[in-house]
Structure 1
Amino acid sequence: MSSPLSEDIYKELAAACRGPVYRSSDSGFGDYSTIFNGNVKTLAKGVVCPLDSQDVSKIIVFCTKHSLTPSIKAGGYGTAGWAIGGDIIVDLSKIVGVEIETPLADGSFTSLRDASNNNTVKEASTTSGKRRREDDAELRRYDDASQAVASFLRGPPLSAQSTDGPSPSIRRRLNPDSPSIHDSQGISRQESQESDHGSRSSTSEVGSGPSSDSRSTSMISTAGTSPSPPADNNTSLDSSSMASSSAARIGADPFGYLDNPNNFPPAPPPSTVQAAYNPHAMQSWGAGTSALFSNPTGPLATMNMRAHAQPEHPHAFVTFGAGMRQKEIDAYTAKHPLGGKYSTGVAIPYHVPFAAHPVGSSIMLLGGFGFLSRLHGLSIDNLVEVEMVLADGRIVIVNEHDYPDLWWSLRGAGPVLGVATRYKAKAFPVPVVFAGNLIYRFNKATAPSLIKHFRDCVKGAPRELYANVLLTAGPAGKDSLIVVQMCYVGPKEKGQEYLAAISSWDGEVSLLNEVNEKSFLHQQDSVAQVLRGKAGRQWFIRSALISSLPDDIINQTVMKFADTPVGCTWLFELAGGAITDFEDNVIPKPQREAAFTIAALHQWEMDIDDDRCVDSAEEWIAGTLKPVHVGGPFPSFLGRHETPERTKACFGDNWKRLCEIKNFYDPNNLFKSTFWPLNAEGDEVQAHTHEPPTPEFIGKE
């Protein structure tokens, strides 16, 4: 246990920062010092929650003065623990705010230097750590990605209230008329009166059509706001008759559905919160729900019109604070669509090319591979400007013209160079996607054939098509699953040929096919839904980029995966496309030309000590896949206990230049609680020296 801050040091830090400060002995410390991975124990002396870049600057100067190491926590989703590995945790969750704007007449954007800081100080300063944890828990609800998949994996929900509408903590964020939400001048708005049947409309109501202004602003974004497709359209199960279960199975064995091949419960209708844009539209799945989906003027009709609408702008610009989770930003831009051409009255949502949910804002500095990457590039490729605090406390605006060397390096290695506090990125029109899952039982005899079929189907695929295949392990004695996910960025009629090709494999009967038109907001939850990830478990991630996927690698992969414990998922994602178009940042060209990105995503309960949870991932990535490796992984996939060699391999021939820029902007290695594998003298250091330890009780009887 580290020693706490002395009273004098604590008072000095509290006086420097307007946001709250907690010592390790304070009751609020735990709310800000935990992360998604439970296999990490912080030794920090305190937590400070800045409200803007000015606060961050003062904190950095304070840490330098007292020889304290800061660690920067944006979302807390990184598995290595760097976010809580320093002496002082700088929690950015109060630097919120998001807005979307159309391009200026010359195609440019309003610089962060000239734009107002949309973070609302009064609101941010009064948001408790407990409330933020509640909000994070709500953001990790993924069933709206596909109600068919949710029902398939877990059975029907306990009650309408369990899925039909957000919790009070998220309703506060959904409803900007709440008394706890303030406008940019900090003036409290009039309280909204809610009932079980409706709520008062806000000033920026969802689905109300295109924004009348070129810029739309929100202090905090919302929960899901886009329609989900009907669960029964184009959804097939291999059972001709399906029995409905009346008992809830929340928390039950997620693979229980495999015990009886005829025990597939029917999917409930999509969340009426998502479908009707109204958190109080319905309180049950009772009579009348079908009218919601058959109404031609309802949200499904709107989605159909969007599928054929023409966007007025090739892209927009989204500005957001570093404390925003990417799911919040996706929900905000879905709630604030922009008008299309020809005055059709159909507004089109725009989205930043993020990785799939859940990640924090630092994905904008580390890579960011997701459903839009093959069409528009990585997250870092779509940054246009960053507000950053440097190691000497300076606040700078970084773009292609200002600080060009820093601009080159921060897109891929940003956390080792400074603290990003605000971002501006491109967002692209995504009217609708044709997307979903094909689910099969994992069978050692037939799995290689399915993976090879997938590989051959996606060869030469257009940039609009994202596709992956993942293997996910079930409990001992239970079947595991193979899931093929596709996301065609476009309407059904253009995406169906790819679904037809992939689903033509006849080695096994598909347990579920729920590919359909849906909103991009829902699709962003789809990977997390299948992973069934849970905060607080032990997590271990390893990743690689590979040049090809030959038959022998597939065969070896299937045999090794058959022996993995429950909670292990191995993922093959089709890469390429627009990722290869960008060469002006620190990610090297060979990595960008990789054919597939590979990841082992392992999770297991805190009371389990099974070496296979780590060893199987290491052996697969470092052993089986080694013949087809292309350098190291994208930096966003760096995990716990990485070797210096793997970290350096992420940057290939760009490593030497990156070191020079790091030495210039952070000569004393202040930002060492990151993936950076060198000390201030330039010598390699092992991972355990710059990441927090594992809790002592793990592995002990």
Structure 2
Amino acid sequence: MSDIYTQLRDQIKTGDVFRPADEGYEDSLKRWSASSERPAAVVVKATSPEEVSTAVRFATANKIPLTTRGGGHSTSGASSSDGGMVIDLSRMRNVIVDPEARTVAYEGGCVFGDVDSRLAAHGLATVGGLYNQTGVGGLVLGGGHGFLSARHGLSIDNLLSVQMVLADGSIVEVSETQKPDLFWAVRGAGAQFGIVTRFTSRAHPQGDIWGGPLVFPLDKLPQLVEFANEFHKRGVPDHNYALIFTCGPPEFTAPVLITALFYNGPAAEAEEFFAPLLKLEPVANMTQMMPYQTANTLFSPWFEGPGRRLIGSSSVLMPLDADVMAEAGRQFVDFITSHNDMGKSALVVEFFPTAAIRSVPHDATAFANRGEHYAAVMVFQHHDASYDGEVRAFKRKLAEYITTRCGYRGKKGSDGHVAPFYVNLEHESLSPEDAFGDHVEQLRELKQKFDPNNVFHKWHTVVPGAKKTNSE
């Protein structure tokens, strides 16, 4: 006796439909974080916008909750569905570069490594994440910042158009001139409005950069915080600095401080710019000139391989207090060293200049996090499922400490608006106000227009009173 999914198999001509008894089903559930995996009722590996549309229409007609899997890197569970449908875009990874127009079109199943490598062949780059295996969809639709944000703003600030499938299954082109209200919403809250099957972004000339890690003992923290405050005062438009508490990569067996440096220019200038750090005599200096695309692989030793992962973040305001940072680092290091196999976890404070981000008016896009502040990112990695609850609880505790002592909650930032969380770096479902700030009402109006039945509801919802779990 056939079930309803026989009809779906007949309709998906090129892609695949996996049910629990099928070979390939278990592999289709795999995610970057094993703790984010859920047993879907059906997985559709689409190969075209038309197949995505077919899957959406089928799910809505049969009242099957759905979600989208791009790169599968969300630690919120947003790319998995417990008993529902997953529309998997991983077979849609075409990238087309127009070097004359300086644009790049890339499909929704790409990871940023796909985009970086194709652009690099033409001496170009666009704003992506720091880890080139991150899926493009989740990163771009939530804002998207990386090494080039200091020069070019957010990923959404470089977005020219998208092709997307809406809740009614229609395939639409969306830009400043085509459905501009939806394009406004896509740039910051895109996952709430449909499935983007193709992005088109600006690309920029990009040469080699100087950068890499410096490794220091923990007692160098005061000098590293002092440099962070000096770095902020310089107000540079092009360069980045990050401060990391960790025990990894594997060659480091004890807690260390790592500074991740990025200078968009030649080595001589870079070494003068970062001279205060180089004079501190790091125990390891792995800085060098490298292609830009290589810079996006520097975090790979931390993030590759199987494991259970959780990401969270807080906003921090400058200047930083060295004693407060020391206490945050102590809490973090004590936690990861008191648990087995958590050494590749990291507490990262990203000092990525925000002038280009803040140059875009607050109301120009749905993204609501354009203040003059930086992100403190917590990445927890382990293999023991029994740690999951404890890790989540500690993440909340540490985020609260950092937010209270280094950041702000409910206060207006330099742009005159209350800064919500940066949705791309928070694994838990946030309230609509915490996720989208004072853009919530406009987003709700657009939700009624484009997705009145809340088909796209995973992660951070804009619908008041909607279910706030990511476990579906």
Q: Displacement of 1:26 after TM fit?
A: 0.8
The residue number in structure 2 matching 1:102 is: 99
| Distance of 1:34 and 1:675 partners within structure 2 | 22
Equivalences for 1:343-422 in 2 at 5 Å? 349-357=123-131, 358-362=133-137, 363-422=139-198
Matched to 2:157, the amino acid is: D
Q: Judging changes above 3 Å, is the alpha-carbon distance between structure 1 residues 374 and 516 closer, same or farther for their aligned structure 2 residues?
A: same
| Distance of 2:92 and 2:423 partners within structure 1 | 24
The residue number in structure 1 matching 2:230 is: 456
The residue number in structure 2 matching 1:577 is: 355
Question: What secondary structure does 1:540 align onto?
Answer: strand
| Distance of 1:561 and 1:456 partners within structure 2 | 25
Q: Displacement of 1:49 after TM fit?
A: 1.3
Q: Displacement of 1:481 after TM fit?
A: 1.2
Equivalences for 1:517-666 in 2 at 5 Å? 517-529=289-301, 532-551=302-321, 552-565=323-336, 566-567=342-343, 568-575=345-352, 576-583=354-361, 584-588=364-368, 591-606=369-384, 609=387, 612-627=390-405, 628-629=407-408, 631-639=419-427, 641-644=428-431, 648-666=433-451
The answer to whether structure 1 residue 57 and structure 2 residue 60 are counterparts is no
The answer to whether structure 1 residue 16 and structure 2 residue 11 are counterparts is yes
| Distance of 1:612 and 1:449 partners within structure 2 | 32
Q: Is the 8 A contact 2:95 2:114 kept in 1?
A: no
Q: Judging changes above 3 Å, is the alpha-carbon distance between structure 1 residues 76 and 317 closer, same or farther for their aligned structure 2 residues?
A: same
| Distance of 1:495 and 1:360 partners within structure 2 | 30
Uncovered stretches (5+) of structure 2, i.e. residues with no partner: 337-341, 410-418
Q: Judging changes above 3 Å, is the alpha-carbon distance between structure 1 residues 434 and 388 closer, same or farther for their aligned structure 2 residues?
A: same
With normalisation by structure 2, the TM-score equals 0.89
Superimposed CA distance per residue, residues 193-226 of structure 1 (whole angstroms, 9 cap, x where no aligned partner): xxxxxxxxxxxxxxxxxxxxxxxxxxxxxxxxxx
Q: Is the 8 A contact 2:97 2:104 kept in 1?
A: yes
| Distance of 2:77 and 2:213 partners within structure 1 | 32
Q: Displacement of 1:478 after TM fit?
A: 5.1
Question: What secondary structure does 1:642 align onto?
Answer: coil
Uncovered stretches (5+) of structure 1, i.e. residues with no partner: 1-5, 105-315, 338-348, 693-701
| Distance of 1:47 and 1:92 partners within structure 2 | 10
Q: Is the 8 A contact 1:33 1:42 kept in 2?
A: yes
The residue number in structure 2 matching 1:224 is: none
Equivalences for 1:113-512 in 2 at 5 Å? 316-334=102-120, 336-337=121-122, 349-357=123-131, 358-362=133-137, 363-443=139-219, 446-473=220-247, 479-504=254-279, 506=280, 509-512=281-284
The residue number in structure 2 matching 1:515 is: 287
Q: Judging changes above 3 Å, is the alpha-carbon distance between structure 1 residues 413 and 610 closer, same or farther for their aligned structure 2 residues?
A: closer
Q: Displacement of 1:611 after TM fit?
A: 5.4
| Distance of 1:81 and 1:486 partners within structure 2 | 31
| Distance of 1:642 and 1:548 partners within structure 2 | 27
| Distance of 1:611 and 1:88 partners within structure 2 | 26
Q: Judging changes above 3 Å, is the alpha-carbon distance between structure 1 residues 686 and 501 closer, same or farther for their aligned structure 2 residues?
A: same
Q: Displacement of 1:488 after TM fit?
A: 1.0
| Distance of 1:49 and 1:467 partners within structure 2 | 39
Q: Is the 8 A contact 1:350 1:427 kept in 2?
A: yes
The answer to whether structure 1 residue 92 and structure 2 residue 89 are counterparts is yes
Matched to 1:329, the amino acid is: V
Q: Judging changes above 3 Å, is the alpha-carbon distance between structure 1 residues 610 and 404 closer, same or farther for their aligned structure 2 residues?
A: closer
> Per residue, is there more strand in 1 or in 2?
2
Q: Is the 8 A contact 2:104 2:203 kept in 1?
A: yes
Q: Judging changes above 3 Å, is the alpha-carbon distance between structure 1 residues 547 and 684 closer, same or farther for their aligned structure 2 residues?
A: farther
The answer to whether structure 1 residue 29 and structure 2 residue 8 are counterparts is no
Q: Is the 8 A contact 2:49 2:171 kept in 1?
A: yes
The residue number in structure 2 matching 1:196 is: none
Q: Is the 8 A contact 1:95 1:323 kept in 2?
A: yes
| Distance of 1:38 and 1:380 partners within structure 2 | 29
| Distance of 2:300 and 2:385 partners within structure 1 | 23
Q: Is the 8 A contact 1:441 1:479 kept in 2?
A: no
The residue number in structure 2 matching 1:671 is: 456
| Distance of 2:111 and 2:430 partners within structure 1 | 29
| Distance of 1:350 and 1:456 partners within structure 2 | 31
Question: What secondary structure does 1:410 align onto?
Answer: helix
Q: Displacement of 1:490 after TM fit?
A: 1.6
Moved more, 451-460 or 418-427: 451-460
Matched to 1:59, the amino acid is: A
Q: Displacement of 1:464 after TM fit?
A: 1.1
Q: Displacement of 1:556 after TM fit?
A: 2.6
Q: Displacement of 1:610 after TM fit?
A: 6.8
Identity of aligned residues (%): 24
From 43, 50, 74, give the equivalent of 1:47: 43
With normalisation by structure 1, the TM-score equals 0.61
Q: Is the 8 A contact 1:541 1:600 kept in 2?
A: yes
Q: Displacement of 1:677 after TM fit?
A: 6.1
| Distance of 2:383 and 2:81 partners within structure 1 | 22
Q: Is the 8 A contact 2:243 2:349 kept in 1?
A: yes
| Distance of 2:468 and 2:165 partners within structure 1 | 27
Q: Displacement of 1:612 after TM fit?
A: 4.8
RMSD: 2.1
| Distance of 2:225 and 2:386 partners within structure 1 | 31
Q: Is the 8 A contact 2:162 2:173 kept in 1?
A: yes
| Distance of 1:364 and 1:686 partners within structure 2 | 22
Q: Is the 8 A contact 2:308 2:385 kept in 1?
A: no
Superimposed CA distance per residue, residues 210-261 of structure 1 (whole angstroms, 9 cap, x where no aligned partner): xxxxxxxxxxxxxxxxxxxxxxxxxxxxxxxxxxxxxxxxxxxxxxxxxxxx
